[in-house]
Amino acid sequence: MVVTLSCYGYACHQLRLGSFRIRRNRLQLSTGKILGENLVFCFSKTLGDILQDNYLKHKAKYPLGLLTKMTLNVPEWPNIIFIFLKNNGQSKGVSIRVCRMIDRFKKYKQAGSHSNSFRLTNGRSDDTELQSVPLLARSPSTNRKYPPLVVDKLEEDMNRRMADDNKLFREEFNALPVCPIQASCDAASKEENKEKNRYVNILPYDHSRVHLSSLEGVPDSDFINASFINGYQEKNKFIAAQGPKEETVNDFWRMIWEQNTATIVMVTNLKERKECKCAQYWPDQGCWTYGNIRVSVEDMMVLVDYTIRKFCIQQVGDVGGKKPQRLVTQFHFTSWPDFGVPFTPIGMLKFLKKVKTCNPQYSGPIVVHCSAGVGRTGTFIVIDAMLDMMNTERKVDVFGFVTRIRAQRCQMVQTDMQYVFIFQAMLEHYLYGDTELEVTSLESHLAKLYAPSAAGCGGMEAEFKKLTSIKIQNDKMRTGNLPANMKKNRVLQIIPYEFNRVINPVKRGEESTDYVNASFIDGYRQKDSYMASQGPLQHTIEDFWRMIWEWRSCSIVMLTELEERGQEKCAQYWPSDGVMVCGDLSIELKREEESESYTVRDLLVTNNRENKARAVRQFHFHGWPEVGIPSDGKGMINIIAAVQKQQQQSGNHPITVHCSAGAGRTGTFCALSTVLERVKAEAILDVFQTVKSLRLQRPHMVQTLEQYEFCYKVVQEYIDAFSDYANFK
């Protein structure tokens, strides 16, 4: 249930009361200090109740001194929570930070972010994913200085600032001047232009706004809600714009044409939380004319974190006929969650590199937009500038740069979470650098990795050691560590994280039956491409098949034998002949076929309660020895190709992958499948970041140095196998 917080009817002052958490219909407030005032909680199911009854329901006053913890019963789940701070009879609106659970379809998976925070709808811009605020009203100026940071001390400095729930980061963010200069917004405030603004308080300054050419007979047709923004050392490198409204789509394309823009960066989805964030300003296919600009779709590539669309645009007019055509590329980042920021900056850094690589050298400004054109837009621009500064000066000056671009457009970088995310991106780049490779350079890169070093640690080992330094978040494995579920884990060190664990439907009358030791894993083109699972135990076979049925998985990849070195590695979860019954499901073996390195089993899974049946194909790989890794990559390449062919025929539902613990061989398969798909599509590979991403989604994925080295070996074999090698040159 979506819960909205509102400061209805009052100006919103930025005061920090502490952290709120909604848990089992109780609102908890912990750690806050407000002296001599009363806090009034007002709950209502709908805004209509408030307007109709003209009074606040469910009042509960609490005198606040030094608060350590307070709990208040909530009448069911309110759609709107009114919170006011009373002082001498005068009410003030209050912005606070609230935690909320998001129901993402059936698996309740948070959309790529570990933050449960959500936006306050207080009449401010919808681009505010999270309103995180200081203890006291923010001062318009501060004497505190935040000089540039030397990158060699970036990690140490970040650890210090992130202590105590990012306390020092919040202080720094709140020290940013909201409006560094006294600037007018006269053009945006004109009556004729008010409808062109998506949000009433996000207006471009007159001195930095983009001027369109005036249309004859149309007053104020030179206005669009967009601002020129400087890059690191390049004047007006960007245009920060609001997401086009239906009424301003024509103006948006007119701006693209007049500014000679070749690249559009979109950092919002068209709808988020069922709210329109941006009008679709391009045709799905074919061509469409917007004003006097014809836009045709030339190509589209959908990837896990972003989509690339290529448009051909031309100006159409009566005088002089058609004008020359131009190519415009839109980079649409789709992995920004509805709330907070992305869980990891890896996807954003890949996205940014793609934008920088593809933007033509002599084109006009890069147009960047989200919904309001300040929060995510500002975050993208700052990351771009700070990467350039880091590479040039070995320093970063986030505070100074945000201050400067706020003088060009208000509220750039809108939340402290976005501010911290910028630093996380800087640290990610500093620690790991750019590890992408073109396929033509793989051979020389491997030569460097295998070259002996004076320290006695080769490049391959050093690269893998960076992966093993990634902290395993044991505190994020709550469900798997519950006493009722411990017996369902084959290896106690490999338990799924909460944010992406696979959730089974709950069986009536039983507790903890939604747990199965499996994690959703992102692929190259889409999220949740795989379900990485442990090999079923005898008493979890039913859970395994319920997972297969619930998530409509039609492909199972098995990377272990039932027994290895005298130890059980996986229970036999399919019948040798006849039918196996697992609760409501019946599994029947229809066909078994041996190939060079794997066995294919066609199974018919029937849900007896629903009277439905589905075909499931199992690929049982026999090429993995009991000790070490396969002698060559041919078998792995073949099984990956067979699975992908099966997916094309059965639909792109998650591929279930398991070995024994669901980490080492399972991670290796997922890594290779993802890397090889990218090699085919882009002739680019990044083994390091692929494995790093897997380890952030499930502990110990690609478990050993041998398995990591095997990933490189298989990719090299795959490239060498191409007869038309020129495709990769």
What is the Cα–Cα distance from 550 to 722, expressed in whole angstroms? 39
3-state helix, strand, coil in the chain (%, to 5): 30, 25, 45
Would the annotation count 613 as a binding residue? no
Which of 699, 669, 460 shows the shortest CA–CA distance to 555? 669
Would the annotation count 372 as a binding residue? yes
Would the annotation count 376 as a binding residue? yes
Query: String of b and e for 452-484 (b: at least 16 CB within 10 Å)?
Result: eeeeeebbbeebbeebeeeebeeebbebbeeee
DSSP-assigned states of every residue in 32-72: EEEEEEEEEEEEES-HHHHHHH-S--S-EEEEEEEEEEEEE
For this structure, is 12 an active site residue?
no
> Phi/psi of residue 194, each to 5°?
-60, -40
Would the annotation count 373 as a binding residue? yes
**Residues 7, 410, 554, 659: which is the catalytic one?**
659
Which of 426, 662, 418, 435 shows the shortest CA–CA distance to 540? 662
Give me the helix-helix angle, 398-406 and 416-432, nearest 10°. Answer: 130
For this structure, is 570 an active site residue?
no
3-state secondary structure 398-440: HHHHHHHHHCCECCCCCCHHHHHHHHHHHHHHHHHCCCCEEHH
What is the Cα–Cα distance from 405 to 374, expressed in whole angstroms? 10
Would the annotation count 338 as a binding residue? yes
Would the annotation count 375 as a binding residue? yes
The half-sphere exposure of 83 on its side-chain side, counting CA atoms within 13 A, is 25
Cα dihedral value 212, 215, 221, 227, nearest 10: 0
Cα dihedral value 195, 196, 198, 199, nearest 10: -70
**Residues 7, 185, 278, 370: which is the catalytic one?**
370
What is the Cα–Cα distance from 410 to 205, expressed in whole angstroms? 8
User: DSSP class of residue 258?
Assistant: H
What is the Cα–Cα distance from 550 to 71, expressed in whole angstroms? 37
Would the annotation count 414 as a binding residue? yes
> Phi/psi of residue 674, each to 5°?
-70, -45
Helix (H) or strand (E) holding 636: helix 634-650
Known binding residues for substrate: 338, 370-376, 414
Catalytic residue numbers read 370, 659
